[in-house]
Structure 1
Amino acid sequence: MSAAMAAALALFSLLAAAWGLPPQLDPHFYDRSCPQAQQIVASIVGKVHYQDPRMAASLLRLHFHDCFVKGCDASILLDSSATIVSEKRSNPNRDSARGFEVIDEIKAALEAACPHTVSCADILALAARDSTVMTGGPGWIVPLGRRDSRGASVQGSNNDIPAPNNTLPTIITKFKLQGLDILDLVALLGSHTIGDSRCTSFRQRLYNRTGTGLPDLTLDASYAAALRPRCPRSGGDQNLFFLDPVTPFKFDNQYYKNLLAYRGLLSSDEVLLTASPATAELVKLYAADQDVFFQHFARSMVKMGNISPLTGGNGEIRANCRKVNRY
């Protein structure tokens, strides 16, 4: 272990209590049982990122959508079965969640190297970190030791994940219910510096200003005009648009600069600037200082990854991330 890594782990231990890290989670969890685990994950994420630059955002999003439903337990990865209704069928995930085949590939490689050892929930956490790093964003030490759930909650997926048209108070409440504060909210939404959104997720911003059919007042007019041809009043629901059209594949602070120019694609993005002085101040801070954004994002990702993990004798280590084990 390098001196830098040893120092980073020592600092992590000091900060763990302040971050509310469950004592069962430990960055060293697989040091003996599967010492090559993190290298395997990073290698496959890197290969896939080279093949499909969109995949980094998709893998990061999977971790978010997993943790906000029943905690970080890989419930999002379960397919429907006789006893499970998959979260993949929920409104936030249907026709948009992707990257499941990448998780399958990582899991198969880990099962070959270290059978019945590395959980699917930990794979999601590591893949999210590696995807951020590979697109130019910050790294962080991932606490490990999560176990996998034996069930899913399509209802929780529909209700608990913030939606593109939610008001800011609703979004704040959904984050608060997960133990995340306003700083976490603004920092974590910065992940929209990469990735895409479908026309159906923001169409109302282009046409639904009360009584006029004009774009929202909080949407730059020239940006709205550029969006309309591929996002008409009807049709084109699945057409994809960059969340950050300036640097769409680079993890940076351009997302916040876009908000200041009223070029946030989703209503749930732009309200960070327009609906609250507290969130607006954070938007301005991150737009001005990328290093501070990176520091806060990394800290909030660790905090989010700590939401209600299954540890110890709870849950299981799935052999196949898409289905529970048979006993």
Structure 2
Amino acid sequence: MRLFSSVLAMLSAFVLVLTACGSSGSSARTEDGKTVLRYQGWTGEVEFHELAEELGYYQKVKLEWVGNTTSGPQDIQSVATGDIDFGSAFNGAVVKLNAAGAPITSVLSSYGADEDEYTGYYVLENSPIRSARDLIGKKVGMNTLGAHHEFLTREWLAKQGLTNEEIKTVTLTVVPPVNTEQALRDGQIDVAALNEIYRESALQRGGIRPLFTDKSLFGAFSYGTYVVRDDFLAENRDAVADFVQGTARAIRWTQVTPRDEVVAKFREIITKRNRNEDTKAVEFWRSSGIPVTGGVVAERELQTWIDWLVRNGELEAGKLTAKDLYTNEFNPYANGTYPEGSGPDGQALAHE
């Protein structure tokens, strides 16, 4: 049974359910007239929108945290059902949800790979695994299926010459990120997908080496986007515009601000929001991971995964076109509001 065919079937059923239930584009308002935007967070992390609010970049919206998510696909499914107003996921998952009929639009890049931030697929230092062919019959551990780590693993295997039948012999195993490194060291899995704190702390302990990285596949590349429901966008254009401009500026702030200052601000936000978290993860922050000024979305970042699904027989050719799945209309670094390469307030940078 093909994994992605079954995933798309489940998503199609999911979309039928949400359509039957109906989702409203209306949103709550604060006493001073701001639009309330509900979202899910990540424990021990500060997302760009949370930073934007702290930096005072929003004028028309107020964020409301409703809990933490377990994965990108879960986050954007919650957007589609109307449980939250925006979410973020790997673009392959965004494409799949669109293919299943979910009325969502990508409005801003949310994460990616650059020189300092990336996902590595690691093996033990003394592992005999040196090539994709060595992975036949082996296990790869990752945080969830149907998202970034799975797509990148399968893409690497295909680019290295494995057939679809050979790729199917590679077992993709869900392992909580906090346990992935130990599962590798204990021999429960053969390859571990690691990023951010999990990558950096594992590298500090040593004894592992990268088999490949997402950066080695596509270079500097934005891998995920923020999405909103189409009905919400239609009824709350000013709010979505404000959310995008403020979040884009927050992304830019992290791109041009010294690392120590960014980490200090993240630490301050985590402490202030009082969610019973520690700040260990943010100490390992290296960069925004987004290689494009202010998170402007490029067509190829979605088209790559449309083509991937078509090539693998999981999506009908011509059913989706990337340009119909996203908009840069509200991003100040794309719509002419700010000059190219400018800072978070549109000013020219001193070193440029």
TM-score band w.r.t. shorter chain: under 0.3
* TM-score normalized with structure 1 length: 0.28
Q: Which has the higher helix share?
A: 1
* TM-score normalized with structure 2 length: 0.26
Q: Which has the higher strand share?
A: 2
